[in-house]
Amino acid sequence: MTAEGDAVSARPADRYGTAGKGKPSKRWRRWLFVAVALVVSGAIGWIYYLNLGSTPIDAERIGFKELPNDAMEVTINVTRDDDSKPGVCVVRVRDRSGAESGRREVLVPAGAGHSRVSTVVKSIGAPVTSDVFGCSYSIPRYLSTP
């Protein structure tokens, strides 16, 4: 054991190992945790920015009018950040239950920053309302004009 004058008792080296050798500092673990937390937070922030940031092209429904033979005329106002590029918007109509009963892709030609476009959407039943599903600058081949 220890003598009465010893302040610290000696540990058996064969059982506990030597003090200070081979034992890494806990400080690197903290820095590693902070670095991983920063990388994960940055990735989450980037994903939120891409998904929830402002869109370069957007549209809102201005009006709609029911037509005979289960069709509806829909008028949309398209706002773009680059008016020199054409865009495409998907317009849809809904029936009384709220289900989508028809949809149409509308080509928005290059021009002014705000474009008003009207289109007729055919429905499988009596349409009640309409809305804009979304807009994009990626125009399908069948909508582009030569």
Per-residue pLDDT reduced to its tens digit, 46-96: 988 887 777 788 899 999 999 999 999 999 999 888 888 888 999 999 999
Residue with the larger pLDDT of the pair 127 and 27: 127
For residue 4, what pLDDT is reported? 58
Report how far residue 17's alpha carbon sits from residue 12's, in angstroms, rounded to the nearest whole number. 8
Element (H, E) at 47: helix 27-52
pTM of the model: 0.63
For residue 9, what pLDDT is reported? 66
The answer to whether residues 116 and 62 touch, using CB atoms and an 8 Å cutoff, is yes
Report how far residue 76's alpha carbon sits from residue 63's, in angstroms, rounded to the nearest whole number. 7
For residue 24, what pLDDT is reported? 61
Per-residue pLDDT reduced to its tens digit, 101-113: 999 999 988 877 6
For residue 121, what pLDDT is reported? 95
Retrieve residue 2's tokens: 């220890």
Per-residue pLDDT reduced to its tens digit, 2-57: 555 555 666 677 776 666 555 566 788 888 999 999 999 999 999 888 877 777 88
